[in-house]
Chains A and B, each alone.
Chain A
Amino acid sequence: MTDLRSELDRQRGTERAQAIRALLARPLLTRAADPEDFFLVARHAAELVPWFDEHTGWRLSVEARQGYARLAKVSARPDGTRPARRLRGNRDPFDRRRYALFCVLAAELLTGQVTTIGILAGRLTQATVVEPAIPTFDSASREDRRAYVDALLLLERFGVLTATDGSTDAYLEHTDAKVLYRVDATRLARLLAAPQSPSRLPGPDLSALVREDRADDDPDRLRHSLVRRLLDDPVVYFDELPEAERAYATGVPGRRAIRAAIEEAGLQLEERAEGLLAIDPDAVATDERFPAENSVPGQTALLLLDSILAAHPEPVPRAALAEQIAARFAELPAWARTYRSDGGPQRLLTEALGVLERFKLIFNDEVIRARPAAARYAAPTTSAKTPRPRRAR
């Protein structure tokens, strides 16, 4: 007979793990955009808040009534490969202009509860005029309008703005488009997660911005730092850790604490001599996949990795990989059509290496070298796997 209580406990544990990973993937989870995950988080909020606090030191606020949950992620090493993305077209990353407009908009939105796209554009112009450091917003410029719409759409995605009448996209064509917005100022304030207030800092200084007010000898600090990395990053190599963290991660009590946290998040911990790696079998808590399906750069990344691994520990020059791609182009005329135009092969090479770099599988400097975790993906035919010892027979 099925044991009801243990079954229920298991069920709750699975759901909680799912909620944790949903928050890791989307630190601002809204009822409007992700209803299922949001309700999951809301249901388990009472356990999730202390969970994140204990294992990561990250603050989780669940505003069930307001319809959002916010995990304030903090990292001592902010990553430049996970940008805000446009919600139109190719989901290109935001550029500096868009980020700046997004922030000016956010500041302007704090004053009112209802506004329109036209009034907002006017305020944006006025606000950028008085900021000599920021190029003035000009609604007559198509490029500016595009950037403005991208910033607005992202604010809508976060639920800061709600279009109660009209559609933001209309502004791309006509500056006299009528869109009415409702503003959620508290959610707006929640967008900022840095431990330090930027306006109190003397200048642009990332390390000052992410400095947390806790002593170095705080016993929780080491654990938090490592669990954060493991929950967020594809691989954590021991050799890139500070001495104290490495000692903690390789020690028995540290390893036990880390494993507990990783498993409660529904991830598997892979422990190897060179480092640690958390596996998300459901691929929920990730912004991209490797290996990926139906992706030319993803497939190319896998193929290039084979060559890079075959050469290991020798590095591979970039040119050799470019040749490999060129050879494949010649061999398979139907393959990767979109990359056959001018500069396409180079772009494909860059993108494929970008995938491998983002998953921390290679060093990509002048030459390319495999990092240890790359060996996980070795093709079975290569000799990367050690044969079973003979004495086993």
Chain B
Amino acid sequence: MSDARPAFRRVPADMFAFTTTERADLHTAVMQVFGEAAERLRAALTFDEVLAGLPETGWYEPVSDESLEYTLGALHKHGLVDRAQNHAAHYASAAEYERRNLHYSLSRKGEAAYQGLLLALDLLDGSGALQTSVLDAIAARLGELDALLGDEGADDRRIHTALTELEGHLTALRSGVVRFNGRLQRLLRDEGADPAVFQELKQATIAYLTDFVTDLDTRRLTVADAVARIEERGVEVLHVRALRGADLPVLPGRPDPAPHFLERRAARWAALREWFRPAGGGRARVEELADTARAAIVALMRALERFSDSRRRGSSTAADFRTLARWFSAAETDEAAHELWAAATGLWSARHTHLAPDDPTAVGPGTSWFRAPGVHVSPLLRTHGQSDRVSRTARVRDTTEIREQRRQRALRERLELEEAWSRLATPGPVRLSAFARLDQGSFSRLLELLARALTVPARDGERRASTADGRLVVVLLPPPDHHLAYLRTARGVLVAPDFIVSISESRPGQAAPVPLRTDFRREATA
């Protein structure tokens, strides 16, 4: 790898262009003719030989000379086919000579393109595999190399073949993993039409993966150990001896192949390390592979579980939902599906009208709707589609607000009441003058209480009355002296005899008086 540019920059732009044009079929067929000829060590073909070779590749349609001419020209233009003058042939005419005096053969780029094509087809067809035997073979070759390196007298050629085999196994492992992983991911998100086949495939894959994962750790360690042993002996030594064993031809005009050879070996060795014994103690790729395999086993088992689950008529909620899903899918109309939804979930809303007749009791329950008074429908609803704001339909629109107001009012009234009572309740008998200052609300309540007490006849000089709801009891005693009480309010001053007043809660079981405001307590005892 003398060229340090990354792979994607090194692919010649038009290398596979022949597979993508309109005439890709014929182009590819011709490439195949060349490829197969090369396998038979026939380096160059004439126009007629190319034409004759086509049927062997499975091309049976007639090909006009022009068409083949064009194809060969195109391949030549892409740099895939070399052209040379053919001086050995016999020509009947000058025209024939003009057209057919050429020899065609694959260029280097053409060979690469053809091999690439074969590999691509192979990958498309093949399924890929994870093989423990590959791992064993790698371990075995490493062991062999270790032994050969230990033996000074060993043949370098054997080292070369063993290294080549090792690299071959590593390549097999890598491409196998790539392909298998692709197949596995497809299986995991499979759109298997036939559930039975689908299930079988998954089960087989699980068994296969389980086999692979078992003892993977031991194999990994064996390989890693062997790598370590060779590194102790020196990888460079190994590569140099392999280079000697390779016996590479040195051709005039071509660069020395040795540096390139050593670079490639070093790169392969680095790849090997990355798989089994990464530098810096990172995660070995083979471990990642094991993780992926384990995760795939779990995912596949789950899928199978779900499959058997869906077969079993369970009574669990999940089974209920799955059953419903099937029923929904089988429903004949959307309306039938709506009914099923309602039946299964009960998640429907009630439906009512909001308009009531003015006087619901105007007619008896035996009256027909046709004879009973109707509801008031705003005439604007008919004419404009909207009701006027003062009509009753408009009121309905604001119900939440009204309800809220009503609630607030009730709450406010209750609070006022509590507040007033807490102001009025006394810790015991006090003078009326103790209610020195009162707000208007409390004052009017106090007046009401006094009025109630004063209207009942006195018993032993004591007047006793209670509020309408019976909650508060007021007891009034005439003043022992002739003092007057002056109660000041915002609206004026009440002047009255200074009665002795006792206001308390009368609820049975409630001994504690209404809590007093502290300032009032102070005033009352002052």
The listed residue (A82, A131, A134, A306) touching B349 by CB distance below 8 A is: A82
- B357 near A376 with CB under 8 A, answer yes
Complex contacts, A234 vs chain B, CB 8 Å: 351-353
CA distance A133 to B331 in the complex (A): 11
A321 within 8 A of B: no
B102 within 8 A of A: no
CA distance A386 to B321 in the complex (A): 55
Complex contacts, B386 vs chain A, CB 8 Å: 293-294
B301 within 8 A of A: no
- B351 near A358 with CB under 8 A, answer yes
The listed residue (B337, B343, B374) touching A94 by CB distance below 8 A is: B337
A33 within 8 A of B: no
Scoring A residues 90 to 104 as 1 if CB is less than 8 Å from chain B, else 0, what string do you get?
000111110111111
Which residues of A (28-79) have their CB < 8 Å from a CB of B? 28, 71-75, 78-79
- A376 near B355 with CB under 8 A, answer yes
B319 within 8 A of A: yes
Contacts known (A74-B346, A283-B399); A7 close to B413, Cβ less than 8 A: yes
Complex contacts, A132 vs chain B, CB 8 Å: 195
- B369 near A283 with CB under 8 A, answer no
B344 within 8 A of A: yes
Contacts known (A4-B417, A4-B469, A82-B338); A267 close to B352, Cβ less than 8 A: yes
- Interchain residue pairs with CB less than 8 A apart (16): A4-B417, A11-B407, A18-B403, A83-B342, A96-B328, A99-B325, A126-B189, A130-B307, A193-B346, A197-B315, A198-B320, A206-B343, A279-B356, A280-B352, A372-B370, A376-B353
A106 within 8 A of B: yes
CA distance A277 to B365 in the complex (A): 11
B381 within 8 A of A: yes
Complex contacts, A74 vs chain B, CB 8 Å: 346
Complex contacts, A289 vs chain B, CB 8 Å: 353-354
Complex contacts, B396 vs chain A, CB 8 Å: 281-283
Q: Closest CB of chain B to A82's CB: distance in Å?
A: 4
Complex contacts, B326 vs chain A, CB 8 Å: 100, 131, 133-134, 204
Which residues of B (325-367) have their CB < 8 Å from a CB of A? 325-331, 334-357, 360, 365-367
Complex contacts, B417 vs chain A, CB 8 Å: 1-2, 4
Q: Closest CB of chain B to A382's CB: distance in Å?
A: 9
Q: Closest CB of chain A to B310's CB: distance in Å?
A: 6
A310 within 8 A of B: no
Closest chain A residue, CB of each to CB of B378: A291
Complex contacts, B517 vs chain A, CB 8 Å: none
Contacts known (A100-B329, A272-B372, A296-B385); A204 close to B352, Cβ less than 8 A: no
- B355 near A204 with CB under 8 A, answer no
- A107 near B385 with CB under 8 A, answer no
A172 within 8 A of B: no
CA distance A268 to B335 in the complex (A): 31
Q: How large is the interface on B (under 10, 10 to 19, 20 to 34, 35 or more residues)?
A: 35 or more
B371 within 8 A of A: yes
CA distance A286 to B393 in the complex (A): 15
- A199 near B322 with CB under 8 A, answer yes
B478 within 8 A of A: no
A116 within 8 A of B: no
CA distance A126 to B187 in the complex (A): 10
- A96 near B329 with CB under 8 A, answer yes
A26 within 8 A of B: yes
A253 within 8 A of B: no
Complex contacts, B344 vs chain A, CB 8 Å: 192-194, 198, 209
Contacts known (A80-B342, A135-B329, A280-B353); A298 close to B385, Cβ less than 8 A: yes
Complex contacts, B325 vs chain A, CB 8 Å: 99-104, 107, 131, 134
Contacts known (A7-B413, A189-B317); A287 close to B351, Cβ less than 8 A: yes
Contacts known (A96-B328, A272-B367); A293 close to B381, Cβ less than 8 A: yes
Q: Closest CB of chain A to B385's CB: distance in Å?
A: 4
B414 within 8 A of A: yes
The listed residue (A209, A296, A380) touching B343 by CB distance below 8 A is: A209
CA distance A302 to B343 in the complex (A): 31
CA distance A126 to B357 in the complex (A): 58
A274 within 8 A of B: yes
Complex contacts, B370 vs chain A, CB 8 Å: 312, 372, 375, 384
A330 within 8 A of B: no
- A1 near B342 with CB under 8 A, answer no
CA distance A297 to B448 in the complex (A): 59
Closest chain B residue, CB of each to CB of A373: B369
CA distance A52 to B360 in the complex (A): 26
B164 within 8 A of A: no
B150 within 8 A of A: no
Complex contacts, B440 vs chain A, CB 8 Å: none
- A99 near B374 with CB under 8 A, answer no
Scoring A residues 121 to 142 as 1 if CB is less than 8 Å from chain B, else 0, what string do you get?
0100111011111111000000
CA distance A281 to B342 in the complex (A): 25
Complex contacts, A204 vs chain B, CB 8 Å: 326-327, 330-331, 340
CA distance A376 to B323 in the complex (A): 44
CA distance A379 to B393 in the complex (A): 15
Complex contacts, A135 vs chain B, CB 8 Å: 329
CA distance A7 to B287 in the complex (A): 76
- B348 near A384 with CB under 8 A, answer no
Q: Closest CB of chain B to A290's CB: distance in Å?
A: 6
Scoring A residues 363 to 379 as 1 if CB is less than 8 Å from chain B, else 0, what string do you get?
00000000011111111
B191 within 8 A of A: yes
Most chain B CB within a 10 A radius of its CB, from A97, A192, A376: A376
B519 within 8 A of A: no
Contacts known (A78-B342, A81-B338, A286-B352); A28 close to B347, Cβ less than 8 A: yes
Q: Closest CB of chain B to A221's CB: distance in Å?
A: 18
Complex contacts, B374 vs chain A, CB 8 Å: 375-378, 380, 384-385
B190 within 8 A of A: yes
- A287 near B350 with CB under 8 A, answer yes
- B367 near A273 with CB under 8 A, answer yes
The listed residue (B328, B355, B469) touching A103 by CB distance below 8 A is: B328
16 further A-B contacts with Cβ under 8 Å, apart from A96-B328, A101-B325, A279-B356, are: A10-B410, A78-B342, A79-B342, A95-B337, A96-B337, A97-B329, A102-B325, A103-B322, A194-B343, A270-B356, A286-B350, A291-B355, A293-B385, A299-B381, A373-B369, A376-B353
Complex contacts, B407 vs chain A, CB 8 Å: 11, 14
Contacts known (A78-B342, A133-B329, A204-B340); A84 close to B347, Cβ less than 8 A: yes
Closest chain A residue, CB of each to CB of B376: A380
Complex contacts, A180 vs chain B, CB 8 Å: none
Complex contacts, B353 vs chain A, CB 8 Å: 234, 277, 279-280, 286, 289-290, 359, 376
B471 within 8 A of A: yes
- B335 near A302 with CB under 8 A, answer no
Q: Closest CB of chain B to A12's CB: distance in Å?
A: 11
- B368 near A93 with CB under 8 A, answer no
Complex contacts, B350 vs chain A, CB 8 Å: 21, 24-25, 231-233, 280, 285-287
B218 within 8 A of A: no
Which residues of B (12-42) have their CB < 8 Å from a CB of A? none
CA distance A268 to B424 in the complex (A): 42
B251 within 8 A of A: no
Q: Closest CB of chain B to A41's CB: distance in Å?
A: 15
B496 within 8 A of A: no
Most chain B CB within a 10 A radius of its CB, from A97, A101, A130, A278: A130
Q: Closest CB of chain B to A360's CB: distance in Å?
A: 9
CA distance A135 to B400 in the complex (A): 46
A110 within 8 A of B: yes
Q: Closest CB of chain B to A188's CB: distance in Å?
A: 7
CA distance A108 to B190 in the complex (A): 18
B316 within 8 A of A: yes
- B354 near A282 with CB under 8 A, answer yes
A271 within 8 A of B: yes
A177 within 8 A of B: no
